[in-house]
């Protein structure tokens, strides 16, 4: 089971003069400046130090960049005022006496006083719970004048947290899908709390997370987005619920690929740095289990619907042809909109370029967003209602204000359309996909079983 991101380019740490001055002032020999050294080491479970002080990250969240059954990617943010910190964490099985510590890499949080740290833990067991703590590295030796040049110890000083890997099979695996999240903070919070109470193992987000639009004057929206997510999206075991994200128009400075210049770095200063997945090309794929694959696609925001993304999509679907895998596409702009014009440019391009490929790959359901309403289509194939078609569901109203919808009774491709906040709870039971639309009040208002 592997990840096939759009690009395997690893981001290097910044060459910021201010940071370098800080690093040089704190450590003459540092194991993890910039991109950081990677690898695993053993440390005693609690290494006392007179210099140790409790550390609270500004934000902490989980995702994946590789096999979710055997890895976990932990990301957290710390402030400049915390001083230089190695991007290091320790992990262990519950009750173990030693930490295995790993050093990752850091990135700057644009227009911010924060640093984004990323560490991927590998070599884990499927469907297993692990504990972890953030920490710092200290050089070993009796005094600064008599230190070994390569000996470091891990000193945990962050709060105790946990994560759980995914099982090998998607049978009975419950997860959330949605988009268009942070509009009304209270609705966003209530929806997060509802999904956590549903017992979802992870969330697939089809774009428009914080509505910062790549603008420096909206950076507080990202701070609030992460704060509320961290407070509410927690399992019964006390573990953060992992988030797998795709791009929407509000992750970009400008609405579509043609607007305000082309290129990910200029058009989306926050998104590719804040989230380790999907990577700098803004689209990617995760084989979540042995029988479930998610496609996180860019619906013409940083990358066109066609072109390089389409070639990549063809290659990944070919690799999984006849594999029996469930393939779940998640993207922002809907092919079958409940609010906007059916003949809209991006919707038309998606129907032309993506849908024939989805049909050939045996896709049963596609999750769409962007319109700030709820919709569900009948099964559609070849541009008409068909028993063996794809159900398109969603339209993105997790926490934003909702809009008026088309009359479903007068729109051939809409089986249901309503101006309702929602997220989708998905579960595979005996080979049948069960999808429920739930509101922030915890009530299920629509459901469908897709054989």
Q: Would you list the domain boundaries of the chain?
A: 18-57+82-106+121-161, 174-450
Q: How many angstroms separate the CA atoms of 278 and 207, rounded?
A: 12
Cα torsion through 251, 254, 259, 263, rounded to 10: -40
DSSP assigned state of 332: S
pLDDT at 333 over 50: yes
The pLDDT confidence band at residue 31, using thresholds 50, 70 and 90, is very low
Q: Three-state SS for 157? A: coil
Tokens, residue 300: 């013409």
Q: How many angstroms separate the CA atoms of 100 and 161, rounded?
A: 15
User: Residue 151 burial by CB count (10 A; 0-12/13-18/19+): exposed, middle or buried?
Assistant: exposed
Please tell me which residue, 306 or 19, carries the higher pLDDT value: 306
Please tell me which residue, 46 or 108, carries the higher pLDDT value: 108
Taking alpha carbons only, the member of 43, 176, 69, 204 closest to residue 126 is: 69
> Which among 38-52, 226-240, 260-274 has the top mean pLDDT?
226-240
3-state helix, strand, coil in the chain (%, to 5): 20, 30, 50
Residues in contact with 255: Cβ distance below 8 Å, sequence separation at least 6, in sequence order: 249, 301
Average pLDDT (379-387) is 97
pLDDT at 178 over 50: yes
The pLDDT confidence band at residue 252, using thresholds 50, 70 and 90, is confident
Average pLDDT (195-223) is 96
Q: Three-state SS for 338? A: coil
Residue percentage of the chain with pLDDT more than 90: 75
pLDDT number for residue 36: 41
CB atoms near residue 359 (< 10 Å): 16
Tokens, residue 77: 């943010």
pLDDT number for residue 150: 58
Please tell me which residue, 322 or 284, carries the higher pLDDT value: 284
Q: What residues form DSSP beta bridges with 174?
A: 427
8 A C-beta contact, residue 29 and residue 308: no
Residues in contact with 85: Cβ distance below 8 Å, sequence separation at least 6, in sequence order: 55, 78, 115, 117, 136
pLDDT number for residue 8: 27
**Cα–Cα separations (whole angstroms), residue 144 to 23, 54, 147, 313, 366:** 16, 23, 6, 54, 58
- What is the chain's alpha carbon radius of gyration, rounded to the nearest angstrom? 22
Average pLDDT (218-235) is 97
Alpha carbon 403 to its chain centroid, in Å, reads: 26
Average pLDDT (94-121) is 95
Architecture of domain 174-450: 4-Layer Sandwich (3.60)
Please tell me which residue, 8 or 301, carries the higher pLDDT value: 301
pLDDT at 435 over 60: yes
User: Tokens 């891990």 correspond to what residue?
Assistant: 154
Average pLDDT (316-321) is 94
pLDDT number for residue 49: 35
8 A C-beta contact, residue 152 and residue 31: yes
Please tell me which residue, 66 or 31, carries the higher pLDDT value: 66
Q: Three-state SS for 271? A: helix
Least confident range from 73-82, 145-154, 188-197, 377-386: namely 145-154
Average pLDDT (100-116) is 95
The mean pLDDT of the chain is: 87
The pLDDT confidence band at residue 39, using thresholds 50, 70 and 90, is low
Q: How many angstroms separate the CA atoms of 338 and 57, rounded?
A: 40
Q: How many angstroms separate the CA atoms of 290 and 67, rounded?
A: 10
Average pLDDT (159-185) is 97
Q: How many angstroms separate the CA atoms of 184 and 361, rounded?
A: 37
Please tell me which residue, 30 or 84, carries the higher pLDDT value: 84
Please tell me which residue, 260 or 206, carries the higher pLDDT value: 206
8 A C-beta contact, residue 126 and residue 165: yes
pLDDT number for residue 26: 33
pLDDT number for residue 354: 98
- Peptide bond preceding 309: is omega within 30 degrees of 0, i.e. cis? no
Taking alpha carbons only, the member of 291, 289, 290, 69 closest to residue 165 is: 69
Residue percentage of the chain with pLDDT more than 70: 83
The pLDDT confidence band at residue 236, using thresholds 50, 70 and 90, is very high
User: Exposure pattern of 133-143 as b/e (b: 16+ CB <10 Å)?
Assistant: bbbbbbbeeee
DSSP assigned state of 171: B
Q: What residues form DSSP beta bridges with 447?
A: 436
């Amino acid at each position: 089971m592997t990840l096939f991101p759009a690009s395997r380019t690893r981001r290097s740490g910044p060459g910021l003069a201010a940071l370098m001055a800080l690093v040089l002032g704190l450590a003459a020999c540092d194991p993890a400046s910039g991109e950081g050294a990677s690898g695993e080491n053993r440390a005693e479970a609690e290494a006392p130090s007179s210099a140790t002080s409790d550390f609270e990250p500004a934000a902490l969240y989980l995702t994946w960049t590789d096999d979710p059954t055997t890895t976990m990617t932990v990301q957290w943010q710390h402030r400049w005022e915390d001083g230089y910190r190695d991007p290091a964490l320790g992990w262990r099985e519950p009750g173990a006496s030693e930490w295995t510590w790993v050093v990752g890499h850091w990135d700057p949080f644009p227009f911010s006083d924060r640093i984004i740290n990323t560490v991927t833990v590998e070599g884990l067991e499927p469907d297993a719970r692990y504990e972890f703590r953030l920490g710092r590295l200290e050089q070993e030796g009796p005094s600064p004048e008599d230190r070994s040049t390569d000996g470091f110890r891990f000193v945990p000083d962050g709060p105790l947290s946990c994560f759980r890997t995914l099982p090998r099979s998607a049978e009975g695996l419950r997860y959330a899908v949605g988009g268009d999240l942070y509009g009304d903070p209270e609705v966003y919070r209530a929806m997060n709390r509802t999904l956590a109470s549903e017992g979802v193992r992870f969330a697939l987000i089809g774009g428009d997370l914080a509505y910062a639009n790549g603008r420096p004057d909206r950076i507080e929206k990202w701070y609030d987005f992460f704060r509320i997510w961290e407070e509410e999206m927690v399992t019964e075991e006390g573990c953060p619920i992992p988030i797998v994200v795709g791009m929407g128009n509000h992750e970009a400075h400008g609405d579509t690929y043609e607007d305000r210049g082309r290129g990910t770095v200029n058009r989306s200063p926050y998104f590719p740095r804040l989230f380790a997945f999907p990577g700098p090309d803004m689209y990617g794929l995760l084989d979540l289990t042995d029988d479930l694959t998610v496609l996180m696609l860019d619906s013409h925001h940083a990358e066109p619907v066609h072109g390089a993304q389409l070639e990549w999509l063809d290659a990944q679907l070919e690799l999984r042809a006849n594999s029996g895998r469930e393939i779940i596409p998640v993207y922002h702009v809907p092919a079958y909109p409940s609010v906007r014009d059916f003949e809209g440019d991006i919707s038309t391009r998606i129907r032309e370029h993506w849908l024939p490929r989805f049909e050939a790959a045996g896709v049963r359901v596609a999750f769409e967003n962007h319109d700030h309403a709820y919709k569900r289509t009948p099964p559609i194939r070849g541009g008409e209602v068909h028993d063996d078609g794809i159900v398109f569901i969603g339209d993105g109203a997790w926490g934003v204000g909702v809009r008026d919808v088309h009359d479903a009774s007068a729109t051939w491709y809409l089986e249901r359309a309503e101006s309702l906040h929602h997220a989708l709870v998905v579960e595979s039971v005996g080979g049948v996909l069960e999808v429920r639309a739930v509101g922030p009040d915890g009530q299920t208002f629509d459901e469908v079983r897709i054989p």
